[in-house]
Structure 1
């Protein structure tokens, strides 16, 4: 299970439990809380703060978005890990970035690969840790209308005949949809990430993801959590720099 990192000698004698808890309501010593601190809202930000932030920052980088979402609506629950936690193990959020909707799904119930899907009018760009795939869309109807089956027989037959005359490709002249796929088993995303940082230190050039960029990604995660606990959509108010319902 993710987030379980209990030191073998963890005890009140080796950990200043009261200091570690900070200013939250005090609890009795519990090694599970220390080892799984992200699972409690008093100490962490759950799957949103741990995992969602990476998905959002990746989305921002690919799309060129560098702003907080306007709105967020989240739902989920504690559906798998009934261990006393109060942060969800399933957390799905729909964000609004201008006219771009962004849907993110986090699930600790099963092991799943990290996949980005960018859907546009010309196709789908699918990104994983080791691959990039472009799946083109024909942008034309590939079959007659489903509702034509309810037409009267004569109308239906005339519709189908005309549709096939206008849409069926001529044998041997049908253009092939050219998809593109790139895969590398040796790709290591950590290397360019560190290289960008080291170059910034050496040259003082701005990093790709600076503090403002990171703040916008983190703010999206806080909005996801606020929406989940408030059970309503939330929006970011730039004037007061606060999250409101």
Structure 2
């Protein structure tokens, strides 16, 4: 009997060479970082968000890394635009292997004072938008593809701020992840997972008071915010063959906050 072929480096499992990834909410913050990280790992990238000007900046960074990039302005609250996003990716690249559902908004208000339209808007973007985009992309994805939903530690633990809409949307996204994994992993060969980041050192936390940030960070075992690169690594892991036997899971990347 011939000896089995020696395995390649374990690092090869994290490579995305030849893959095509769609990233929503890619105009700034985490989404822009994810687009760059996926390109570094070898993927061509489709970047989507409402505002084109910021997407063009991210596309410049992706192409500077030697990868192709397609800019598709998209409002994820519109199912028709999500369908058009998937079609545009297929028209340009003839394949779609990875979706990072990152588009999201936040809102903090006491529940008795929160306006109905504000609550609905958060769910419309964070939960419904993720569903419309996942559904559109799953229709064209082939077996071996991966969907990564960007949830939050606030879908797992309480907040120090009154954030009923945001927490509900992210907890719902974790539930959606489990259900879509159950529907698609076996039948379609599409893995569906989520990450639940803690507070990340991006522009968004610059808008938060030092006291509020300290209260959040104080809940973590590591006692600090995450770096963009630490969250990037988790997304690349779930997008890549390295997580080939992982589906329906939510990976907490929160410095131990949800472990309390």
TM-score, normalising length: structure 2: 0.23
User: Higher strand share goes to which structure?
Assistant: 1
**Which has the higher relative contact order, 1 or 2, with Cα contacts under 8 A spaced 6 or more apart?**
1
TM-score, normalising length: structure 1: 0.24
